[in-house]
Structure 1
Amino acid sequence: MKSNPYFGPMTLLAGVLIFSTNGFWQAIAPEGATAYVIGASRLLIGGLTLSLWCLVRYRKIHLQGWDWKAIGIYAVALWLYQIFFFQGVHLIGVAVGTVVAVGSTPIFAGLIQAFLYKEKPDLLWYIATAFAIVGLVLVNMVDDMSFAWYAVILPLLAGFTLAVSVIVAPRVAQPHSAEEGMAIVMLLGSVLMLPFFVLFPIDWMFTSQGALCVLMLGVVNSALAFTLELIGFKNTPTLIASTLTLGEPLGAAVIGIFVLNEPYTNESVLGILFLFVSILILVLGPELKFRLKNKLIFLN
């Protein structure tokens, strides 16, 4: 199955689209719920769920043979992303903060790849990233924006940490299963986030509605989604993977409009279309490019 050129991108996209429902579960969380505790609980529950799954399926969790440097970098990046992203959107708003954080991810990934590995993005990456960034801006157009310029630094740092995660993810998935690698990463990340359970209220988690939200975020939106994402990262070129993560705000916009009945404009609908085109270019483009190249060779 892994020889299928669509396997990696489609698996990654499935995980990313699950992530796009994070905002929905946070929106229906009980009063008193904070983004920090929500982020901490989903990592903790997700890590424990994946650990249990690994113990049932593989009888144990391998602790040898891992690239511990990559796992450590991934865990720290995952932890920092929660802090930078949620604090960033607190300062400048969810819409603009998401645009800056998620929209900057493929750009940072391209720059890191070019700087560290001397890998220059191909034309498809430039085209798809341009479509995606324009789409994000259109989807999240906000009137009368007013905030200090330095507030944008936090969402940019969130985008940088997400790009780092994308780059090290393939190394985390080796040499054992993606579930084991992700379980270890999430448990390490949740340990780093334990102070949030002390600094912020947690009583809302023990209500029926709160328990439903954190369980869905932990089991489905964390354990399942992160595993799908890691498998996708393992089987998708890094630059393509970094831009496919933009499917998250695409899914979130669709949920906001059709499920949460949030207001929308012609610009936001056009933005969704631009994001959809970007994803199609990345998923279908490489295979179409390969077939076209072979056809030209055959004709010559």
Structure 2
Amino acid sequence: MKTNPTLGVVLVLGAASLWGTTGTARSLADGALNAYWFGALRLLTASAFFAACALMARRRPVAPSGARLSTRDVLGAGLCMAVYNLAFFAGIASIGVALGTAIALGSGPIWAGLLQALLHRQRPSAAWWTSTLVAVAGGVLMTIGGARQAQGGDAAGILLCLLSGFSYAAYTLLNQRMANIAPASVITFRAFGVAAVIALPAAWLTGAPSFTSGDLAAVAYTGIVTAGLPYLLFSLALRHITPATGVTLALGEPVVAFALSVLVLGEGPAASAYLGLLLVVGGVLGVVKQELASPPICAGRPAALT
């Protein structure tokens, strides 16, 4: 399959724009549903959305006849997605949303670059690393500077957020490995189905859910608009760009979240947050430039992860 890096970049930035509305939707809900149940039901809603999309795509194979998804890859992707959600919510409960988000989102591109170099034998260039670190630094400034108040935390909370970022990066590499074997809707349906099976019992350990109609509306919105649609776009993008670049471009998410927090929620971020905004935009543009200037990635099956 012929790759198109420009299309890949556009798809990830589109996905990041949708991801960026998650926090605002959660903030506008009534808040009776705790974060663990919110995350688990979001995964379940996304799984149902992907199931419907997979039924429509089942007659449009991607890979040559006979190629099948590896059960190990599907289970691994589902486990990574579940850990990503659960570790993130547990982490921010310990160290706060601002610091937790900065660590999870900021570590993701770094983990992805390291994993891609170690497992795929595709080492990002020095220019890619420079642009990525600029974007990560900007994301940290924007997230911390946009918070109404800082919250301290412990080592366990920091490690959980680092685990969340690692799990997201690992999910991305596994997703790309499967991207040329099956339609994106099939990949995401199976991975998110596994994630929901893991996340729902974990949420139940926190107690029975309590929710309002506003919570259900927010779950439906985030499950379809901020999980279903963007992860489809993200999976399609990984046929055209490297996993490390995909994770870095996803830093467009806090840019959208920042804008909505100011325009919709009326929050007044610190001046450092605006500096962070400029750094994220500059870093992401640098990564885009590197990706478009690089040789096309191999459209076939990536190197083994083991």
Give the TM-score category using the shorter length: 0.7 to 0.9
- How has the CA–CA distance of structure 1 residues 115 and 39 changed in structure 2, closer, same or farther, with 3 Å as cutoff? same
Q: Percent identity?
A: 28
1:71-220 equivalences in 2 (<5 Å): 71-141=74-144, 146-195=152-201, 196-197=203-204, 199-204=206-211, 207-220=212-225
DSSP 3-state at the match of 2:238: helix
Q: d(CA) in 2 for partners of 1:194 and 1:59? A: 31
The code of the aligned residue for 2:174 comes to V
The CA deviation string for residues 106-159 of structure 1, in whole angstroms up to 9 with x for no partner, is 111122223333332202311211211220222133676533334311111111
**Gap runs ≥5 in structure 2:** 296-306
- Structure 2 contact 47–192 (Cα < 8 Å) conserved: yes
The code of the aligned residue for 2:97 comes to V
The CA deviation string for residues 27-77 of structure 1, in whole angstroms up to 9 with x for no partner, is 122232111111111111111122122223436999971122221111000
Q: Which residue of 1 aligns with 2:58?
A: 58
Q: Which residue of 1 aligns with 2:256?
A: 251
DSSP 3-state at the match of 1:274: helix
The CA deviation string for residues 206-250 of structure 1, in whole angstroms up to 9 with x for no partner, is x43222211111121121111111111222112211211212222
DSSP 3-state at the match of 2:181: coil
The CA deviation string for residues 160-191 of structure 1, in whole angstroms up to 9 with x for no partner, is 11110121111232312111111111111111
Cα deviation, residue 3, structure 1: 4.3
Q: Which residue of 2 aligns with 1:70?
A: 73
**Gap runs ≥5 in structure 1:** 291-300
- How has the CA–CA distance of structure 1 residues 252 and 52 changed in structure 2, closer, same or farther, with 3 Å as cutoff? same
The TM-score normalised by the length of structure 2 is 0.86
The code of the aligned residue for 2:101 comes to T
The TM-score normalised by the length of structure 1 is 0.87
- Structure 1 contact 34–200 (Cα < 8 Å) conserved: no
The code of the aligned residue for 1:155 comes to C
Larger radius of gyration: 1
Q: d(CA) in 1 for partners of 2:280 and 2:263? A: 17
Q: Which residue of 1 aligns with 2:265?
A: 260
Cα deviation, residue 289, structure 1: 6.8
DSSP 3-state at the match of 2:5: coil
Number of residue pairs the alignment of both structures matches: 288
Q: Which residue of 2 aligns with 1:298?
A: none
DSSP 3-state at the match of 1:261: coil
- How has the CA–CA distance of structure 1 residues 36 and 112 changed in structure 2, closer, same or farther, with 3 Å as cutoff? same
Q: d(CA) in 2 for partners of 1:150 and 1:55? A: 41
